[in-house]
Amino acid sequence: MDDISADMIYLDDEDHTFANGGNVGQLMRAYDWASSPVGAVEDWPQSLRTAVSICLASQFPMLIWWGPEYVMLYNDAYAAILGEKHPRALGRPGFECWSEIWDVIGPMLDGVMRDGKATWSENLPLLIKRSGFMEESYFTFSYSPMRGEDGSIAGIFTAVTETTAQVVGARRMRGLRALAASTAEARTLQDVCEVAAHTLLEYSDDVPFSLLYLLSQDGAWVRLAAASHWPDDMRAPIAEYEIMDEERELWPFSQVQQQRRPLLLDDVAGRLAGVWGGGGLADAGLPEKALVLPVAQAGQAEPYGFLVAGINPRQVFDDDYRGFLTLLAGQVATACAAARAYQDAQERAEALAELDRAKTTFFHNISHEFRTPLTLALGPLEAVLADRTHLLTEEQRTHLEMVRRNELRQLKLVNTLLDFSRIEAGRIDAFYMPTDLAQLTRDLSSSFRSAIEKAHLWLQVDCEPLPEPIYVDREMWEKIVLNLISNAFKYTLRGGIHVSLRLEGADAVLMVQDSGIGISPEDQRHLFERFYRVRQVQARTQEGSGIGLSLVQELVRLHGGTISVTSQPGVGTTFTIRIPRGYLHLPTDRVEMERTLPPSSAIGALPYVEEVLRWLPEEQRRPAEIAPSLSTGALISTRHPVNDHEGRAPRLLVVDDNADMRDYLDHLLSPTYSVSLASNGYEALEVARAERPDMIISDVMMPGMDGFALLSTLHGDPATHNIPFLLLSARAGEEATLEGLLAGADDYLTKPFSARELLGRVQARLEIARLQREAESARQRLHDLFMQAPAVIAVLHGPEHVFILANPGYAQIVGRPAEDLLGKPIREALPELNGQGFIKLLDRVYRTGETFYGNEMLVRLDRQGNGELEDVYFNFVYQAAYDTTSSIDGILVHAVDVTEQVRARKRAEILLEALEEADRRKDEFLHMVSHELRTPITAIKGNIQLSQRRLKRLAADLQQSTLPSLDELRQMHSLLTQLLERAARQIETQKRLINDLLDVSRIQSGKLDLSLQTCDLTDLVREVVLDQRSSTPHRQIELLLEPGLESLAVMVDPGRIEQVVNNYLTNAIKYAPADKEITVGVEVVDRERQARVWVRDRGPGLNARQQQQIWERFYQDPDIPVQAGSGQGMGLGLHICQTIINMHNGRVGVESEPGHGATFWFTLPLLEAQ
């Protein structure tokens, strides 16, 4: 075996390489590889043979790109991807096969060949031409490098799968979901089409354009409802046409409607050729193919319309594509069905609402028609029965009492029917308030006691006080109790009635128990049904409407409670009502913890008691004893008219379209008031504007302008908006009362009403109006006083501190006109106050009622309106204002602008501080001057005294003829010379001090003069340096001149400039260590054409604060150490230097860092610059 070569092993290698290769394997075996870029098979490297063998045997699409030209070798599975490109692509360079996508995949292949790193692409979109057209496709593949025999990259192995179906399918599914979601809220067919077209704008890859048509109800016409990606100029010609008109039918809708299936159009442009105004579909970017689909659900006789959906020319129109468009049309149909169902429901709801409105209007009208005659009947009846001045015969009184009782019974029936109508319509307004339910129930029950005892029955009321109030609507509870007791009395012939109220767990339980005839089980099941009446039973009367117990059940339900009945025929019946305690079970907007009750429209127990009395035998009832306490009482009492200040009777305007009602009201009111009459709203409007009545009494329901319209018109007129307005209405119930009050009426009276009640309301309302006028007059006087007061006044209302008054003084100090403040919270009107603490002060005063006094408080106001805040000082008071219930409802602001006083005081304080500082500095200066002057004088005196002693000693020696030696004379001469030099220096120091003081004095008085002349600045500086060197030979002073700078001509006072340089050098010597050099420099600042002189030392340096203050007069800083033997000085030198240089139009300055010395400099203008 060792002698067998590799060539012998692969003798039949070609057969092995292409074995099991399927159709492509056979093609490869027959291919002339020798003439291809790859070369003959026997020359292929082993890596290529192995890869080709694996590729051909695999069922997964694989491809080999070989060599620099990327020659393509692939298997059967990949051949399916190539489509029409196979078999031409086999053995050919890749760019020849895939030229349309080579700009995408070419760089990727180059990168793998160059870098040897594999790549991975997932769902890469590519437009390929494999079926005669550019096709949208998606692929997931990897490029892996293949190495040749020498180890270099020789080719690329590719495993690939086409994901076009998955990607397109997922996109279409998203489109369907988006369409379903977006059309879910559409409420009309038009909305469905518009929303659907808008949604399809984002899915143009699958629906290049869409046209949604709606079919007319008769099925003859179509109308374009919406479109996506369709040119605007092409909508009108195809917007509407008759589908059966073959000449005008652009789309085959009639055929689609008949066949009930989609129809494919291959030539859209041809169909539109007659109406197309542009350059064709291609110019508009629209495809040539489209699918026309019916928009209909399965089994639907007529479609809602049609969908014309464009077909993407870059996709294969197969069953999947057709199915997607079918689902699309189906989704639109589903949305149309939902919209049609919604429209039907809306129409039914509108029909029901219209029926409800008609019913409500009927009851509203019928209540008016019933209550108005009832008022006209009951009012005069009660007037006649109460008038004792005209005696009636017994028979007449009996007849009138009978009429009155039946009118009350009719009123009770009308009220009950209206209660039912309001409950059914959901318009009954219940107001649940904490109530002493035991007391209320006892009072209602006791109203029947007289009638029950007359029937020889007993009434036991067991309603002990409850530990807590129960939330009920009092008027409803009254009807519940009265109905149950009257019902018990009706069916109880012997024994009695027991009424009890107690708490059981979480409920308040009312029980009305009787010993009556009982109720059969069959009747118990229907007892609470409306209009149900128990027949064939023994009772006090067979009268009744059968709605009493049904009404009770509805009223109990409104309280979140329950009602039940237990009964045994022949034994008795017990009705049990349970009302939950608390108020959490009730509508929160209907619960009122405390409320002033509006006048009740309930007629109370009177009709119930009157009715049960009529059930008694004649001998058990006497008319004179009929519940006198429950009667409306006497109608006409002693009247006290509310006359005005001139003594005239108030003028009333009565408005009613019923002539009898007008006459009746005129009869009631004219004895006390001056009455004008009007029959409708328009007539009343004219009278009101002409006569300005003190009060208007108007019916609600009138032809033309009703009471509400009249009220609104009068309130909108400034001349009449304050006239009190009393509405009369036949509509009972609190909701009607509240409706009237909310409309702006001052009072509301429900028909029927008693004469006394009307007169009482009128008198009370006129008195209230008089008090309101007086209060308004007082308020106006107070307002005028505030507005004219010289003080600063504002009034804030409510917890938000809304301006309701701002007098001119206030408007002036805040820099806003009053109209910009009124009606706005202070946070909005004066936003700059936020964060300054004043809002919190106002909140505290509003919360606690404690007055706040502010003294000279700083307020920052934007008084110019430019955003710049000014400092203003005020003395002010925040004082709580109270309403009629003693509750805080606002804050009175009174302020005084003390800005000028504060500023003057602060200026005085500053001046005082300055004076105190000047006085302190004067003392320091005197102390310093005395020290500075005393020091040289002391030194001079000492030197002179020492010289005197030496001279006296010499004189004594001479008198004794004792001559000193030559050395002694020399020593004495040297000593005396030193002493005289010291004295001379001290005298010079004293002279300089005095000159500095004189200079400061001249500077302050403006008398410091300059003797200007042309000088050479370099010579001046050089001379000063030489003088300092000679006077301080122990100090090293170096002069640096700018190269080439021989002379600098300046116009200066040479003595003053020498004084400045000397001062700079003296300071440097004073503060710099003796072993450190001092440098003086002269240079030219070219850009300024000025000369600059500077002195640099190696002293302690200066910080930023010291650099700013060192030029001040008398400035001394003990933190800056001086050298031994040097005093602090008077702090005048640098100040004088600055003044001298400024007078020469120059500048001074210092540059320094602490610990690194300082450089003092000054500049002077050159002569040529001057």
- What secondary structure does DSSP assign to 45-83, as a single string? -HHHHHHHHHHHH-SS-EEEEETTTTEEEE-HHHHHHHG
Determine the Cα–Cα distance for residues 748 and 758; give it in Å rounded to an integer: 10
What per-residue confidence (pLDDT) applies to 1126? 54
Q: Among 819, 798, 967, which residue's Cα sits nearest to residue 888? A: 798
CA 132-138-143 angle, to 5 degrees, is 110
Compute the average pLDDT of residues 664-679: 89
Question: Which DSSP state fits 234?
Answer: G
- Say if residue 426 is exposed, middle or buried (CB neighbours under 10 Å; 0-12, 13-18, 19+): exposed
Q: Among 735, 733, 687, which residue's Cα sits nearest to residue 710? A: 687
Compute the average pLDDT of residues 381-395: 72
Report helix angle 164-183 to 189-200, nearest 10. 150
Q: With contact defined as beta carbons under 8 Å apart, do 731 and 750 qualify?
A: yes
Determine the Cα–Cα distance for residues 938 and 1127; give it in Å rounded to an integer: 14
Q: Which residues lie below 8 Å from residue 966, measured CB to CB, with a gap of 6+?
A: none
Report the DSSP beta bridge partners of residue 1159: 1096, 1151
CA 1123-1126-1127 angle, to 5 degrees, is 125
Report the DSSP beta bridge partners of residue 882: 888
Q: Which residues lie below 8 Å from residue 149, measured CB to CB, with a gap of 6+?
A: 45, 46, 47
**1085 confidence band (pLDDT: 50, 70, 90):** confident
Which helix (H) or strand (E) segment holds residue 221: the answer is strand 221-228
Determine the Cα–Cα distance for residues 1079 and 869; give it in Å rounded to an integer: 52
Identity of the residue numbered 901: Q
Compute the average pLDDT of residues 193-210: 93
**637 confidence band (pLDDT: 50, 70, 90):** very low
Compute the average pLDDT of residues 151-179: 93
What per-residue confidence (pLDDT) applies to 600? 41
Residue that wins the pLDDT comparison between 248 and 791: 791
Q: Which of 202-211, 888-897, 923-932 comes out lowest in average pLDDT?
A: 923-932
What per-residue confidence (pLDDT) applies to 20? 78
Determine the Cα–Cα distance for residues 903 and 901; give it in Å rounded to an integer: 5
Pairing of the two strands 153-162 and 62-66: antiparallel
CATH tag for 185-343 (out of 3.40.50.300, 3.30.56.10, 3.20.20.70, 3.30.450.40): 3.30.450.40
With a cut of 80, say whether residue 538 has pLDDT above it: no
For 737-784, write each residue's pLDDT tens digit. 667 777 788 888 887 777 788 888 899 889 888 888 887 777 777 777
SS3 content of the chain, % helix, strand, coil (to 5): 45, 20, 35
- Cite the DSSP H helix spans in 426-493: 437-446, 449-454, 474-490
Q: Which residues lie below 8 Å from residue 421, measured CB to CB, with a gap of 6+?
A: 359, 360, 363
Identity of the residue numbered 104: V
> SS3 letters for 747-769?
EEEECCCCHHHHHHHHHHHHHHH
**Per CATH, the architecture of 6-162 is what?**
2-Layer Sandwich (3.30)
The CATH classification number of 1009-1165 equals 3.30.565.10
What per-residue confidence (pLDDT) applies to 353? 76
Compute the average pLDDT of residues 475-484: 90
With a cut of 80, say whether residue 940 has pLDDT above it: no
Query: Which of 536-550, 635-649, 689-703 is predicted most confidently?
Result: 689-703
* Residue 543 main-chain phi, psi, to 5 deg: -75, 160
- What secondary structure does DSSP assign to 357-414, as a single string? HHHHHHHHHHHHHHHHHHHHHHHHHHHHHH-TTSPPPHHHHHHHHHHHHHHHHHHHHH
For 44-93, write each residue's pLDDT tens digit. 999 899 999 999 989 999 999 999 999 999 999 999 999 999 999 999 99
Which helix (H) or strand (E) segment holds residue 893: the answer is strand 888-897
With a cut of 60, say whether residue 129 has pLDDT above it: yes
Q: Among 422, 424, 417, which residue's Cα sits nearest to residue 548? A: 417
Question: Which DSSP state fits 618?
Answer: G
What per-residue confidence (pLDDT) applies to 535? 64
What per-residue confidence (pLDDT) applies to 86? 94
Return the C-alpha torsion angle 48, 54, 57, 61, nearest 10: -90
Mean pLDDT of the chain: 81
Q: What are the Cα distances from residue 114, in Å, to 44, 108, 156, 881?
A: 21, 10, 11, 90
For 885-913, write each residue's pLDDT tens digit. 888 989 999 888 888 888 888 888 888 88
Q: Which residues lie below 8 Å from residue 121, measured CB to CB, with a gap of 6+?
A: 108, 139, 140, 141, 142
Q: Which residues lie below 8 Å from residue 98, measured CB to CB, with a gap of 6+?
A: 105, 128
Q: Please provide the distance, in angstroms rounded to a whole number, between the alpha carbons at the two ends of the chain.
A: 114
* Count of residues making up the chain: 1170
Determine the Cα–Cα distance for residues 27 and 52; give it in Å rounded to an integer: 13
For 250-282, write each residue's pLDDT tens digit. 788 888 888 888 999 988 877 777 666 545 566
Pairing of the two strands 695-699 and 725-729: parallel
Identity of the residue numbered 674: S
Determine the Cα–Cα distance for residues 695 and 541; give it in Å rounded to an integer: 47
CA 551-378-364 angle, to 5 degrees, is 45
If you compute the radius of gyration of the chain from its CA atoms, what whole number of angstroms results? 58
- Delimit the domains of the chain by residue range: 6-162, 185-343, 394-623, 651-775, 789-897, 1009-1165
With a cut of 60, say whether residue 1125 has pLDDT above it: no
Query: Matching CATH topology for 789-897 and 1009-1165?
Result: no
Determine the Cα–Cα distance for residues 546 and 68; give it in Å rounded to an integer: 105
Determine the Cα–Cα distance for residues 1069 and 1124; give it in Å rounded to an integer: 11
Question: Which DSSP state fits 34?
Answer: G
As a whole-number percent, the residues of the chain with pLDDT over 90 amount to 33
With a cut of 60, say whether residue 106 has pLDDT above it: yes
Pairing of the two strands 119-129 and 134-147: antiparallel
Compute the average pLDDT of residues 570-589: 91
Determine the Cα–Cα distance for residues 1049 and 86; give it in Å rounded to an integer: 100
* Residue 545 main-chain phi, psi, to 5 deg: -100, -15
Q: How many CB atoms lie under 10 A from the CB of residue 446? A: 14
Token duo for residue 864: 């110019």
**Per CATH, the architecture of 651-775 is what?**
3-Layer(aba) Sandwich (3.40)
Q: Which residue has the tokens 């006791």?
A: 446
What per-residue confidence (pLDDT) applies to 999? 61
For 968-1004, write each residue's pLDDT tens digit. 767 777 776 766 666 665 566 556 656 665 665 566 5
Q: With contact defined as beta carbons under 8 Å apart, do 243 and 221 qualify?
A: yes
Q: Which of 335-349, 405-419, 1108-1122 comes out lowest in average pLDDT?
A: 405-419
What per-residue confidence (pLDDT) applies to 350? 86
* Residue 452 main-chain phi, psi, to 5 deg: -65, -40
What per-residue confidence (pLDDT) applies to 934? 54
Token duo for residue 115: 């870098």
Pairing of the two strands 651-655 and 674-678: parallel
The CATH classification number of 789-897 equals 3.30.450.20
Compute the average pLDDT of residues 303-323: 92
* Residue 539 main-chain phi, psi, to 5 deg: -150, 170
Q: Which of 124-128, 399-403, 555-559, 1061-1065 comes out lowest in average pLDDT?
A: 399-403
Q: Which superfamily does CATH assign the domain made up of 394-623 to?
A: Histidine kinase-like ATPase, C-terminal domain (3.30.565.10)
Q: With contact defined as beta carbons under 8 Å apart, do 664 and 376 qualify?
A: yes
Query: Which of 219-233, 506-520, 627-641 is predicted most confidently?
Result: 506-520
- Please state whether the peptide bond connecting residue 752 to the residue before it is cis, i.e. omega within 30 degrees of 0: yes
Q: Among 982, 1000, 1002, 979, which residue's Cα sits nearest to residue 990? A: 982
What per-residue confidence (pLDDT) applies to 629? 33
Determine the Cα–Cα distance for residues 538 and 493; give it in Å rounded to an integer: 9
- Say if residue 299 is exposed, middle or buried (CB neighbours under 10 Å; 0-12, 13-18, 19+): exposed
What per-residue confidence (pLDDT) applies to 498? 95
Q: Which residues lie below 8 Å from residue 609, measured CB to CB, with a gap of 6+?
A: 447, 448, 450, 451, 626, 627, 630
- Cite the DSSP H helix spans in 83-127: 94-97, 102-115
Determine the Cα–Cα distance for residues 877 and 860; give it in Å rounded to an integer: 17
Which helix (H) or strand (E) segment holds residue 26: the answer is helix 22-30
Compute the average pLDDT of residues 1074-1081: 85
* Residue 719 main-chain phi, psi, to 5 deg: -75, -20
